[in-house]
Every structure is written in structure tokens, then in C-alpha cells.
Amino acid sequence: MAATEPSPLLELEVGAIATGGGCVAHVPDGRVAFVRHCLPGERVLARITSLGASFVRADALEILHSSEDRVSPPCPHAGPGHCGGCDFQHVSVAGQRRLKAALVAEQLRRIARVDHEVTVEPVAGDHEGLGWRTRVRVGLDAEGRPGFRRHRSHELELVSGCPIAHPGVLATGALGRTWEGLDELEVVATDGGDALIAASGPKRADPALPEGATGFVVNGQVRQPPGAVHVTVDGYRFRVSAGVFWQVHAGAAAALAGAVRDALGARAGDHVIDLYAGAGLFSVLAADVVGRSGSVLAVERNARACTDARHNARHAPHVQVRRSSVTPTLVSQGLGEPDLVVLDPSREGAGRAVSAALAGLRPAPRRIVYVACDPSSFSRDLRVLLDAGWALESLRAFDIFPMTEHIELVAALVPAD
């Protein structure tokens, strides 16, 4: 078969959900197929989209026998060959949560060698899985028209809206106009009415400013204030500048803050370490509990995030913000003797070496709370802690990425007796 010729359609029986948003099947030659746009138990006609040495990728183009969880996608850009941002537009919201629970349980069992029942909890701030995404990133074509990347492609699916975008994002009008001379946009909005557009492009780019009170930042330089948005969580107002990490679901920060608070069990006078601290969400809320007889050390490598964290903790002199990468040496030699540790790494996880350093702290912290957005990397790190004698005390899963395969976990670990 020539590389330019489309592959013939294959009739496949689809099995369990897999990482990457697809399901597992087998093609006639015995290779594993990862098939998108389908559901476990379905029979489909699929076309191979790419070949690997031991597996293939495919798209389900026609559903011969459908699952009870199948629904019509709410977005016209969902489906084979279109926007690659959402994995589960064709799945009921309840079905999505069951799939995610199964995926987390499988990763825990296979990688961490832990059998743990998982229940995916809903989070306030979306409407049947829509209207939740407060931070939307789009590419721009040669004419400046916005679009999302297609699955495993640099090609753009041009759009004028997005059903999972927060209403404040759509209200900026950023997705409905052209942006000549720019390469990419990130549009941010909050429930409080703040809105910000951060753009990147050539150094001399001079695009027209957005209308209204929307902030506009180009290549890190504020062209039209504000250069940050503000989010209120548990009565505290957090500044989040352009390019600084913050949870994208409108209700995620509050949900995760509550889960971390409950899991940590902080007390007055405790010394708390917050690794990968971002804008200081967990640091500020922990400082409120430990009081001035305690202390909080927030560690974050991004300079702008550190500036925001210091601003957000300005009322709490017992919070120290340290700009640093999280390394095994920092953990083993630079954290003192913490009572509690919370870490919220990126999708790659903390890594085996950092996890081993955390497990080796002496005296051992009373509890480690790990916030994870990838079940696979979390399961890898969890195995390191378990092998070092720590125990999984609790695990919660939150549906803060509806319509996608992604999920957020909050796990509490305690040392051996």
C-alpha cells in the first residue's frame, strides 16, 4: 500500500479504554490497534491513521454497534480528522467518568501494582461538561484566523467558538476575529469578569488591540492592561499573570484546594513544603491553617509565578517563596524537616529520583499529598514511595477536564509506622 493511499476500512471489535483517548482493538495481523472516536464494546469500521512496529493507530469512521453511553457530539469540530482537543465528545458525561475511573484503576494496577477502587467526582463550574475552560490556546493560520490543532498534527481546524470554553473566553471575541502577524493566542477569563489575551509572534508584531477591558500581552509585554487576572478561592484573591499556571476548569482551584486541605490535615505550628507551587494556591491556604507559629515554603521555578506567589502571600510573612527547580538535592538537603509536603507537578510527574528523595526525608513528614494530572506518571512515582515503605492513605479523582481523557488526582501518603 503506497504511503499516499488511504488504508482500507477494517471491521473491529473494540475493547477497553487506553491512554491517549482511544480504545484497544486488534487488527487482522495481530497487532494492537488504538482506536479513537469509539467506546468499549462497540463494533466499528475503522481506518488506520499511522503505523508502529507493534501497534497501529486508527479512527472509527462508522459505528456498526453502539454503546449505550454514545451521544451526538455537542461540537461540530469533533470527530475523525478534526479538532484533536476533545477525546470524549461522543460519550455521555456519566460514561466519561466511568471510563476515566477504569483508566486510573488500570494504571494503578499495571504500574503501581495497587488495586484501588476509583470514583471520579464532578466539579462545580461546568454545564454538562461544557463551558468550563477558562484558558484556551489556539494557533493562527497565515491569515491570522484562529484554530485548534488536529490530532497528532500541526494542521489547524479553524473555529469561531468552542463549546467547552468558559463564557468569559467567548465574550472577548478573540475566536471570532483575525489576528494578523501573530502565531498563537491564549485567552483567559474568570468568573469574576477578568479577561486577558496573551499572544506570541514575531518580535515586531503590532496587532490591533482587543476592544473593551480585555488585557492584551504580546511576547510577554503588556500592550493593554491588565496583564493578569484574579481568582477568588476560599475568600483569598489570587493574582495570576499571563503565562503563569492556574487550573483551567472554573471550579478546579476551589475543589482541589478543599481536597488538599482535607488530605494534609495541617495543624497550627506545622512546617509545610509546597513543591511546584505556581501562583501559591496551596501555600496561601496552608498558611492560614498553620498560622504564624508555623511556616510554609513554596518552591517554584518560574520567575513570574514566584512574583505572583509572593504577591498572593503578602499578608502572610510566614510564607517564603523560593525560586528553584525541584531536584533530588533540593528535596534531600534544602527543605529542612517538614511536617507536611504537598506537590503538584506537571504532567511528567515528579520523577523517580525526586520521589525517592521525598521518601527518604528524615525525620519523615507526617504526610505527603500528591496532586497529579496524569495517572501514568503518578503511578510510577507512587510505586517508588510504596517501595520505600510509604502507604497510600487516600486517593480522590476529580473530573476537571470534561470531554477529554484527562483527570486530576489527589493522593495522601503516610510513612511506615
SS3 at position 17: strand
pLDDT in tens, 64-107: 999 999 999 999 999 999 999 999 999 999 999 999 999 999 99
Is 80 exceeded by the pLDDT of residue 284?
A: yes
State residue 6's pLDDT score. 60
> Helix crossing, 375-387 with 352-359: angle to 10°?
40
Contact between 128 and 88 under an 8 Å Cβ cutoff? The reply is no
> Which range is least confidently modeled, 25-29, 291-295, 380-384, 388-392?
25-29
> With bands split at pLDDT 50, 70 and 90, how would you rate the model's confidence at 2?
very low
**What mean pLDDT value characterizes the chain?**
95
Cβ within 8 Å of residue 371, ≥6 positions away = 256, 260, 342, 343, 344, 408, 409, 410
State residue 29's pLDDT score. 87
Average pLDDT in the 247-254 region? Answer: 98
Task: Return the active site residues.
Answer: 373
pLDDT in tens, 99-140: 999 999 999 999 999 999 999 999 999 999 999 999 999 999
Contact between 277 and 320 under an 8 Å Cβ cutoff? The reply is no
Average pLDDT in the 26-42 region? Answer: 94
State residue 63's pLDDT score. 97
Average pLDDT in the 381-391 region? Answer: 98
State residue 1's pLDDT score. 44
- DSSP classification of residue 127: B
State residue 203's pLDDT score. 84
The percentage of residues in the chain with a pLDDT greater than 90, rounded to a whole number, is 92
State residue 212's pLDDT score. 85
CA distance 104 to 258: 21
pLDDT in tens, 319-371: 999 999 999 999 999 999 999 999 999 999 999 999 999 999 999 999 999 99
> With bands split at pLDDT 50, 70 and 90, how would you rate the model's confidence at 5?
low
Is 50 exceeded by the pLDDT of residue 3?
A: no
> Which range is least confidently modeled, 49-53, 162-166, 227-231?
49-53
Task: Report the DSSP beta bridge partners of residue 297.
Answer: 273, 320
